[in-house]
Amino acid sequence: MSEITESNAEVLGHAHEEHAHRDDVGAKMGMWIFLLTELLLFTGLFLVYAVYRYYYTKEFHEAGMQTHILFGTVNTMVLLTSSLTMVLSIAAIQRGKKWLSATFLSSTILLGLAFLIIKYVEWSEEIAKGIYPGSPTLLAKSNGEVLFFGLYYTMTGLHAIHVIAGMTILIFMLVFILRNKITKDNYTKLENAGLYWHLVDIIWIFLFPLFYLIN
Amino acid sequence: MKSPEPDRGMPGQESKTHEEPISYGLYLLIWLSLIALTATTVAVAGINLAAFALVVALLIAVTKASLVVNYFMHIKFEDRIFKVFIGIAGFTIFVIYALTFSDVYFRR
């Protein structure tokens, strides 16, 4: 009897030591519920886009021709690659390779920065052409084109804010890895941050054809 | 690759034993597919497909998104409850779109 109690205590004590008050599945589930609310936020905007594209098919087509397919394509590749380095960072920490994980994660953050720089150049060019919300050049265009560019700035802008938020989270994760707060046995934080980063990638996967690939 | 059976019926399970790390190679393969699909969608956009252009572009986008969700976001290897979550969310979004478009379409 006493033997059983003793071994029980040992097991419990051991479990407690290894992951005190941890519920990795629960943490991930919470993250997913949050991601679905983010999805709903963008769904609303995509719905507005869809309805106006239906009403102003020709104008959306005309306006869509003016966005830069090259910037859009390069940025798609950049984000997809950042998603790759993100999962590789998790794969590395799962194998206990701290520095490899930190390197991959840093690459993800830098690719996020590259995405924002390209976006900056792209927007600068459009603004130089006089296309920005409320500009005289834009207001002289048809209603459909005004709506297209309004949605273009709103949706890619909101997406860019998400990229910035994601990068901020990833910088924290990098610090956690370097301080051994994220380790081989405890990397749920990194996984959840990765989930957020991939969601941002998925949203871009849909923004890209809708704003850049209208020919 | 392996597809470990999702262990169900173990609520409150805390360990990560069901999570065998995925190989670097598989991730690389998924990334290559994503890049190839991006190249395809850009190439296809140059061809005049009229009304089908949007459908094709969206089909490719959905394929890319499902690759990201299943492999990068690990859903393929996750417990069933995660798939139920995503299914319900997807259905909700479908209903929102269907109702809105039935309104928009019949309003004229």
Tens of pLDDT along chain A (215 residues)? Answer: 444 454 554 455 454 455 567 899 999 999 999 999 999 999 999 999 999 999 999 999 999 999 999 999 999 999 999 999 999 999 999 999 999 999 999 999 999 999 999 999 999 999 999 999 989 999 999 999 999 999 999 999 999 999 999 999 999 999 999 999 999 999 999 999 999 999 999 999 999 999 998 86
Contact B54, A103 (CB under 8 A): no
Whether B16 is in a domain gets the answer: no
Burial of residue A90 (CB within 10 Å: 0-12, 13-18, 19+) is: buried
**What region does A134 belong to: left with phi over 0, alpha with psi -120 to 50, or beta?**
left
Whether A159 is in a domain gets the answer: yes
Q: Which domain holds residue B27?
A: 22-77
Whether B39 is in a domain gets the answer: yes
Question: In sequence order, which ranges of B21-79 are alpha helices (DSSP H)?
Answer: 24-45, 52-67
| B85 and B60 within one domain | no
CB contact under 8 A, A215 and B13: no
Which are the contacts of A12, defined by CB distance < 8 A and separation ≥ 6?
A: none
| Cβ-Cβ contacts under 8 Å, A95 against chain B | 21
Which are the contacts of A162, defined by CB distance < 8 A and separation ≥ 6?
A: A38, A199, A200, A203
Whether A1 is in a domain gets the answer: no
Closest-CA residue of A relative to B79 is A25
The Cα B7–Cα A168 span in angstroms is: 34
**Shortest distance, CA B89 to any CA of chain A (angstroms):** 7
Closest-CA residue of B relative to A202 is B65
3-class DSSP assignment, residue A141:
coil
Q: String of b and e for A94-107 (b: at least 16 CB within 10 Å)?
A: beeebeebbebbbb
The Cα A202–Cα A110 span in angstroms is: 19
Query: Sorting pLDDT into bands at 50, 70 and 90, what band is B107?
Result: confident
Closest-CA residue of B relative to A185 is B16
| Cβ-Cβ contacts under 8 Å, B64 against chain A | 205
Identify which of B8, B41, B28, B7 has the alpha carbon closest to the alpha carbon of residue B72: B28
| B56 and B90 within one domain | no
Determine contact: A27 vs chain B, CB below 8 A.
no
Pick from A22, A83, A84: CB nearest B14 = A22
Whether B13 is in a domain gets the answer: no
pTM of the model: 0.86
Indicate which CATH number applies to the domain containing A59.
1.20.120.80
The ipTM is 0.87
For the four alpha carbons of A121, A123, A118 and B40, in that order, the dihedral sign comes to negative
Question: Can you state the angle between helices B24-45 and B52-67, rounded to 10 degrees?
Answer: 170
Question: Into how many domains does chain A fold?
Answer: 1
Whether B6 is in a domain gets the answer: no
Q: In A, residues 50-109, which contact B (CB 8 Å cutoff)?
A: 50-51, 54-55, 69, 73, 76-77, 80-81, 83-84, 86-88, 91, 94-95
